[in-house]
Structure 1
Amino acid sequence: MFKRVALFLATNLAVLVLLGIVMSVLQNFFGIRLGNQGQLLVMAAIFGFGGSIISLLMSKWIAKRSTGAHVIEQPRNEAEQWLLTTVHRQAERAGIGKPEVAIYDAPEINAFATGANRNNALVAVSTGLLRAMNRDEAEAVLGHEVSHVANGDMVTMALIQGVLNTFVIVLSRVVGRVIDGFLSGNREGSGGGIGYFVTVMVLDVVFGLFASMIAMAFSRYREFRADAGGANLAGRDKMIAALRRLAQNHGQSTLPGQIQAFGISGAVGHGLRRLMLSHPPLEERIAALQRAA
């Protein structure tokens, strides 16, 4: 947990420094008045959405490179042929284009879907899943991932993150200017004093944590929705069986951080730590499917 907080602090400090440099350059060369809230909103939107959109556009490439996934182009065996056929059949039922299908080497039972376009996505499964699950359970997992694509979850997550990033950047700097003005006696100037920079740095972290909680709450909601989609595509009993298999073999996800939220299997947590989890507990997901039945 400490490592995650330290990384978050370092990232936000880097964003703050970079934002300050870019704004200073724009002020010097283009005469932009940084106290203008409209201009601040434009700059915040560029920074807030920029990273999210770039990550979304690069998501398939990043996923393939970071997991070493092998995309099935010409099936080498019966298992790969089954995977390809099943995903494409489910995609047709879901009304989306045929995703790329890949296998990546990992001992855990996991799978993920990613991509900037619901008609040009990637669905990948781990070798651990293929070894531990029977065909019915694996079919349900594939239906879950295809549902993520059909629901446009990757795009929605990127947009939500962009809005939250923009909110954090704007609000922290507005509050920073108010506090700086109070400490400096409302002196004129656009540079900002020490009160401004300290306040912005602290609020970037505080508001950023709250923004992450909101994003993770939506991520947990979309897992319930993808489970329902998997039940529709493969069968409710198969989806419940697949989640029970995950619960029996649950372990820490080895997916890279950039795509960990898109795996079917997420981390486990209780109390306040649960607010930062991208996946709800498996027992809650199973119970939700049973209630829907």
Structure 2
Amino acid sequence: MGNIRTFALMAVLTALFMGLGALLGGATGAVVALLIAAAMNLYTYWNSDKSVLRMTGARSVDERSAPDLVGMVNQLADAAGMPRPKVYIMETAQPNAFATGRNPENAAVAATTGLLNSLSREEIAAVMAHELAHIKNRDTLTMTVTATFAGAIAMLANFGMFFGNSDRERPGGMIGTIALMILAPMAAGIVQMAISRSREYEADRLGAEICGRPDWLASALRKIDGLARGRMNVQAEKDPALAHMFIINPLNGRGADNLFSTHPATENRIAALMELRPTRQESNIGRSSVPKSGRKIRQDPWG
């Protein structure tokens, strides 16, 4: 049901983009808009992971530079029956994490230094399981394509506002044109947020299944939500379009970019998690990857 809803919402974005193209250039404009969208999505498909990692400033780590974190991610990936992703660390005091990549075979997960220093091993494992769930569900590609569509719609709308033809024969005339130019980007943003929210609930569910303990993830979400509000994520503030990729909204609400949230209410996510039961994965992950309650992964071995 989640995939059907996502495809339906993305169809709405495609229709909005083509509608703006038609408004600016008739049938030819609609075709051109579709070709532009296809080209952007093709580029996004092959370069989404590199672009996101570059924009966030995340650095790659391996079993030598970050043995605890990489070992944990590898064990969780093995438990989920999926390829092991590349692991990155993002330098920011705000606790958060994200995943990127076009498919499970070409994916990466990133944790912030704030996350690694503020959460217990159990909570970190749950967060990484949540990000692996996004990869397994191929959400990383979906969300990147959606963001591309939303950005393209806003760009095309701005172009139309300044350079569009005011042909009175168009439906609604000039007033209709202006209204569509304003409303289309708003609608695109709403669709983008709707896709993001639906995917977060599913990633929470699957992430809890991967790590085996829904309460670990619930605890992590509660802690991250509380700490993130008081710590700025500079990279995310510079590029708000990346906000939907993090496990918790990284924007601290100081600007207009946080007017509409890209994430469900944390309380609702926690409530949904607490309705789930621990799975058989608990014993596997709990004994080796998370040996003792409350212990944190140490920062110092990571250089």
TM-score higher than 0.5 here?
yes
What corresponds to 1:238 in structure 2?
Answer: 216
Give the whole-Å Cα distance in 1 for the aligned partners of 2:61 and 2:188: 37
Establish whether residue 278 from structure 1 lines up as the match of residue 255 from structure 2: no
Distance 1:115 1:249, change over 3 A: same
Pairwise CA distance, 1:289: 0.9
Pairwise CA distance, 1:81: 1.0
Pairwise CA distance, 1:243: 1.1
Deviations 1:90-110 (A, max 9, x none): 223333322110111100001
What corresponds to 1:51 in structure 2?
Answer: 40
Distance 1:180 1:244, change over 3 A: same
What corresponds to 2:205 in structure 1?
Answer: 228
Establish whether residue 211 from structure 1 lines up as the match of residue 185 from structure 2: no
Instruction: Please list every run of 5 or more consecutive structure 1 residues that lacks an aligned counterpart in the other structure.
Output: 1-14, 24-33, 184-194
The percent identity for this pair of structures is 30
What corresponds to 2:71 in structure 1?
Answer: 85
Which of 233, 245, 255 is matched with 1:262 structurally? 245
Give the whole-Å Cα distance in 1 for the aligned partners of 2:78 and 2:97: 20
What SS does structure 1 have at the residue aligned with 2:275?
A: helix
Q: Is the CA contact 1:223–1:279 (under 8 Å) kept in the aligned structure 2?
A: yes
Give the whole-Å Cα distance in 1 for the aligned partners of 2:145 and 2:59: 29
- Matched residue type, 2:228: H
- Matched residue type, 1:279: H
Pairwise CA distance, 1:130: 0.8
Q: How many pairs does the alignment contain?
A: 243
Deviations 1:17-37 (A, max 9, x none): xx79xx9xxxxxxxxxx54x3
Give the whole-Å Cα distance in 2 for the aligned partners of 1:60 and 1:120: 8
- Matched residue type, 1:236: P
What SS does structure 2 have at the residue aligned with 1:98?
A: coil
- Relative to the length of structure 2, the TM-score reads 0.68
Deviations 1:112-150 (A, max 9, x none): 101122211110101111110110000000001010111
Give the whole-Å Cα distance in 1 for the aligned partners of 2:205 and 2:107: 20
- Matched residue type, 1:46: L
Pairwise CA distance, 1:268: 7.0
Distance 1:217 1:268, change over 3 A: farther
Q: Please say which structure displays the higher CA radius of gyration.
A: 1
Establish whether residue 122 from structure 1 lines up as the match of residue 129 from structure 2: no
Q: Is the CA contact 2:215–2:274 (under 8 Å) kept in the aligned structure 1?
A: no
Establish whether residue 60 from structure 1 lines up as the match of residue 38 from structure 2: no
What corresponds to 1:69 in structure 2?
Answer: 58
Which of 38, 41, 46 is matched with 2:30 structurally? 41
- Relative to the length of structure 1, the TM-score reads 0.70
Distance 1:182 1:88, change over 3 A: closer
Q: Is the CA contact 2:214–2:276 (under 8 Å) kept in the aligned structure 1?
A: no
Q: Which has the higher contact order (CA 8 A, sep 6+)?
A: 2
Give the whole-Å Cα distance in 2 for the aligned partners of 1:222 and 1:60: 18
What corresponds to 1:131 in structure 2?
Answer: 117
